[in-house]
Amino acid sequence: MTGSLAAFQSGLGRALTGEDTCPIDSHSAGFRFTMKVRRSWCEGRTMMAARAVLAVVPDGERQRLVSEYVDQGGGLALFLAAEREAFLAFLAPRLPDPSHALTICRMGQALAQARLGASMFVPLRERVGGGRVGRGRHAALVWFHADPSAVMMALKGGKLPPVGPPDHAVLFAPGLPNLFRTATEAEAALWAELPAADAPPALTARLLMEGVLAYPA
């Protein structure tokens, strides 16, 4: 073989991104078929990584978004969680606002963050004398535009409820059982004001324990 293994692999890898460096016949039926299979793997990985949000995006739009993502180099991650994170970040600014799809996208991002934080989570106790509190590093609040359970049912094949005002707030944090729960009105109001120096202790004690709140470093 002429040239090293490293050169062969690098040339092939760069050819996959469109450079004219392919060390084998790129016009052969086998190479073209390999590219087709690769494309379908990238699209399939993307679909699998974000099944929930894509389930509520109309068919044509779903295919267009996945194609655009793969065209930009997406769909290559070895692990689904990494693919999901990248694809949801790509999707968020492209989904209609408000929409259930955007809510589910944000929920996916919030869950991933909460899950990430859960492996090293240590509940915080309230400091004597209180003090300034902010949002937990792995916490989020997501507004739903319909009853969250109705939106979730739609993911299992039910009909999506109409998009209404953002009346339902759900908290995501590493210290919550199952990583999420419904937020009370007071909690949602506090979340909007964070960071806050004068949060009511009755509210903050629980939220600190759950990882929703944190003391600024």
Partner 1 sequence: MPGPLGIGFGCHLTLPNALYTPDLLDFVEVTPEIFHREENVQGCIQLVPDHKPFAAARRRCGSLPVTMHGVSLSIGSAHGMYEPCLTMMDRLRGEWRFHWYSEHLHFQTTLDANGEATNTGIPFPLPPTEEAAGLVAARAAFIQRRYGVPFLLENPVHYLPDLPADPEIGDEFGLMGRIIALSGCGQLLDLHNLYCNAINFGFDAITALERIRLDRVGEIHVAGGSWRDGFYMDAHDGLVPEPVWDLLEQTLSRAPWIPGVVFEILDEYLERLGPDGIARELERARTIWRRHHPVAEAAA
Q: Which residues contact 28 (CB under 8 A, 6 or more apart)?
A: none
Q: From the CB of 49, what's the least distance to partner 1, in Å?
A: 12
Residue closer to partner 1 by CB (options 10, 99) is 10
Do 75 and 41 form a contact (C-beta atoms < 8 A)? Answer: yes
77 belongs to the binding site for partner 1 (CB under 8 A)? yes
If 0-12 CB within 10 Å is exposed, 13-18 middle and 19+ buried, where does residue 99 land? middle
Is 43 in contact with 50 (CB distance < 8 Å)?
Answer: no
Residues 32-61 that bind partner 1 (CB under 8 A): 33-34, 36-38, 41-42
Site string (78-107) toward partner 1, x via CB under 8 A: xxxxx-------------------------
73: DSSP letter: T
* Position among 96, 119, 124, 212 found at the interface with partner 1 (CB under 8 A): 119
Phi-psi domain of 113 (left: phi exceeds 0; alpha: psi -120 through 50; beta: other): alpha
Question: Closest Cα to residue 144, out of 91, 196, 100?
Answer: 100
The reply on whether position 29 binds partner 1 by CB under 8 A is yes
Using the rule CB under 8 A, is 5 a contact of partner 1?
Answer: yes
Q: Which stretch binds partner 1 (CB under 8 A): 3-11, 92-100, 162-170, 185-193?
A: 3-11
**Shortest CB 40 distance to partner 1, Å:** 9
Q: CA-to-CA distance for 159 and 165, rounded, in angstroms?
A: 18
Q: Which is nearer to partner 1, 102 or 174 (CB)?
A: 174
How far is residue 100's CA from residue 107's CA, in Å, rounded to a whole number?
10
Cβ atoms of 135 and 213 within 8 Å: the answer is yes
CB of 2 to partner 1, least distance (A): 7
Nearest distance, CB of residue 80 and partner 1, angstroms: 8
Instruction: Identify the residue among 55, 92, 116, 203 touching partner 1 (CB under 8 A).
Output: 116
CA pair distance 75, 207, nearest whole angstrom:
36
Q: Do the Cβ atoms of 148 and 167 come closer than 8 Å? A: no
Residue 23 binds to partner 1 (criterion: CB under 8 A)? yes
Residues found near partner 1 in the complex (CB under 8 A) = 1-6, 8-10, 12-14, 16-17, 19, 23-25, 28-31, 33-34, 36-38, 41-42, 75-82, 116, 119
